[in-house]
Amino acid sequence: SLPPLSIQTHTVRLHGHHLDMYNMLFDSASSAFFALDEHGGAAVMRRYSSVLECILRLRQTCCSSRGVPQQRMERARQVMRFMEEKRRLQEGGAEENCTKLLNQ
């Protein structure tokens, strides 16, 4: 039989570079999640391993920024640039340009 469930909560205060990294990862993961969610819950479920990877990277950032590969941080920056461009195009009323951007 399994041992009794034990839950421990630790509050971690991030500062400086760690906080910036955490926020970048969190914001990019949130943007990607909500973009997938717009296509229905099935789209999110097909990408559940990506969601789990985002949670892992956030946890790694809480321990040490060295645990997060530089390539992963660059992908987070790319997602944020993409979402900013999408938002800018939508606000400008350029619906067809936004569709082209999404299909790249």
Q: Which helix (H) or strand (E) holds 36?
A: helix 16-37
Residues 19-28: tens digit of each pLDDT: 998 898 888 8
Q: Which of 31-40, 44-53, 60-69, 87-96 has the highest mean pLDDT?
A: 60-69
Beta-carbon count within 10 A of 79 CB: 19
Query: Is the predicted pLDDT of residue 70 greater than 60, yes or no?
Result: yes
54: exposed, middle or buried (Cβ count in 10 Å: 0-12, 13-18, 19+)? buried
Q: How far apart are CA 3 and CA 95, in angstroms?
A: 55
Q: How far is Cα 17 from Cα 33, in angstroms, rounded to an integer?
A: 24
Alpha-carbon span 16 to 87, nearest angstrom: 28
With a threshold of 0.85, does the pTM exceed it?
no
Question: Could you report the per-residue pLDDT of 22-55, keeping only the tens digit for each?
Answer: 898 888 888 877 777 776 667 667 777 877 888 8
Question: What is residue 43's predicted lDDT score, i.e. its pLDDT?
Answer: 67
pLDDT, tens digit, 9 for 90 and up, residues 3-18: 999 999 988 888 998 8
